[in-house]
């Protein structure tokens, strides 16, 4: 079970191996997977995005918490599944809010807005890091994803 947690939390080891910041890599993995899903199954994309979100959140809570405990660190940089979950939430909210598949530019903007919010962690996002275990690792990214989706939807409505 610990091996499965490590593989999931580091997204197949990407968090341990790549020279780029793991947080960026995790977000990019989510963006690429989202775009592939949107193109591969356009008619079923929204239900599939919601199903992935429903699966990834509990997996991330468990795997990130278990891997952090194994490493004896509160939020190791190699753990990137939390960024995948947060970015996926931002993209899924965008699709739900638009009522259609986001265009490529809209998806890229979602990536950028999520990264900015994930890095800067404005109030109250930063406070969520204080939660114990996997909750503290994942909740701030989910909040950043929620905020990124909301910010982009508001911006698109104003344009």
Give per-residue pLDDT as tens, 91-103.
999 999 999 999 9
Q: How far apart are CA 149 and CA 92, in angstroms?
A: 8
User: Which pLDDT belongs to residue 19?
Assistant: 61
Cis geometry, peptide bond prior to residue 124 (ω within 30 degrees of 0): yes
Tokens of 124: 């109250």
* pTM of this structure: 0.94
Structural domain for 109, as ranges: 2-158
**Of the candidates 109, 89, 95, the residue with the CA atom closest to the CA atom of residue 159:** 109
Residue 121: alpha-carbon gap to chain centroid: 14
| 18 phi-psi bin (left φ>0, alpha ψ -120 to 50, beta other) | beta
Is 85 within 8 Å of 60 (Cβ atoms)? Answer: yes
109 membership: H or E segment, kind and range: helix 104-120
Structural domain tally of the chain? Answer: 1
Q: How far apart are CA 93 and CA 54, in angstroms?
A: 13
Give per-residue pLDDT as tens, 106-153.
999 999 999 999 999 999 999 999 999 999 999 999 999 999 999 999
User: Which pLDDT belongs to residue 75?
Assistant: 85
């Amino acid at each position: 079970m610990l091996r499965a947690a490590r593989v999931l939390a580091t997204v197949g080891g990407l968090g341990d191996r790549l020279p780029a910041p793991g947080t960026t890599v995790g977000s990019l993995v989510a963006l690429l997977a989202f775009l592939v899903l949107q193109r591969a199954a356009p008619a079923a994309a929204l239900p599939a995005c919601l199903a992935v979100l429903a699966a990834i959140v509990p997996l991330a809570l468990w795997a990130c918490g278990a891997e952090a405990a194994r490493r004896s660190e509160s939020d190791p940089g190699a753990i990137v599944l939390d960024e995948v979950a947060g970015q996926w939430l931002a993209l899924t909210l965008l699709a739900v809010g638009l009522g259609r598949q986001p265009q490529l530019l809209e998806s890229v903007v979602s990536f950028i807005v999520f990264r900015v919010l994930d890095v800067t962690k404005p109030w109250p996002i930063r406070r969520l890091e204080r939660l114990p275990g996997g909750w503290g690792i994942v909740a701030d990214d989910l909040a950043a994803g929620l905020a990124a989706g909301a910010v982009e939807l508001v911006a698109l409505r104003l344009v």
